[in-house]
Amino acid sequence: MRIVQSPLGPIALAADATGALVYLGFQDHEPRTRRQARMAQAPDLADDPALFALAERQLEDYFQGHRTTFDLPLAPRGTPFQLRVWEELRRIPYGTVLSYGALARRLGDPLLTRAVGTANGANPISIIIPCHRVIGADGSLTGYAGGLDLKQALLELEGARPRRLFDLDR
């Protein structure tokens, strides 16, 4: 596990033995802190200085407004459904937002809205898998494991406006 600094607070990173990122979360927020503690107990984590340095550089570029996508090996850990949701999250372009309902429709079932919200909240690789880009159907900022203040800060950094819903069904 490595801690890197960001304008929004310290970020914890964890990698597996294959050289892929398995965790990225804001260290100072309680839900992430509990997940980070569980992650630190995982037996297959590895210290990967090269991966951590690359992730830190890409995060610095992102926070400076110079990076809109990430190019890092990822290995998020979750259920098959969570993995599907997280893959769809990666398709939401920088600077745009998508409602939970639209994401459920993209996954093929509009009744999955609550399940999508739960999977979104369980995302182990914040920012890179951009769960902060998912908002309520009315444009409100809802549900972010790092806190709504961080969600708002990330969306502002990206220039996203909740009224600019990005509907993947179109």
pLDDT grade for 80, boundaries at 50, 70 and 90 = very high
Query: Is 3.90.1300.10 the CATH number for 80-158?
Result: no
Say whether pLDDT at 16 is over 70. yes
pLDDT grade for 36, boundaries at 50, 70 and 90 = low
Q: Which of 131, 154, 155, 157 is catalytic?
A: 131
159: left (phi over 0), alpha (psi -120 to 50) or beta: left
For the chain, residues classed under CATH 1.10.10.10 are: 80-158
- Find where tokens 């996508």 sit: 69
C-alpha distance from residue 48 to each of 2, 59, 166 (Å) = 9, 16, 36
CA–CA separation, 160 and 90 (whole Å)? 16
The distance between the two most distant Cα atoms of the chain, rounded to a whole number of Å, is: 44
Say whether pLDDT at 84 is over 60. yes
Tokens of 35: 């997940």
89-114 per-position pLDDT tens digit: 999 999 999 999 999 999 999 999 99
Say whether pLDDT at 46 is over 50. yes
CA–CA separation, 7 and 79 (whole Å)? 32
* Mean pLDDT over the full length of the chain: 87
Are the C-beta atoms of residues 51 and 15 closer than 8 Å to each other? yes
131 tagged catalytic: yes
**DSSP-assigned letter for residue 129:** S
Say whether pLDDT at 167 is over 90. no
pLDDT of residue 93: 94
Poorest-confidence range of 4-8, 29-33, 100-104, 130-134? 29-33
The average pLDDT across 128-133 equals: 96
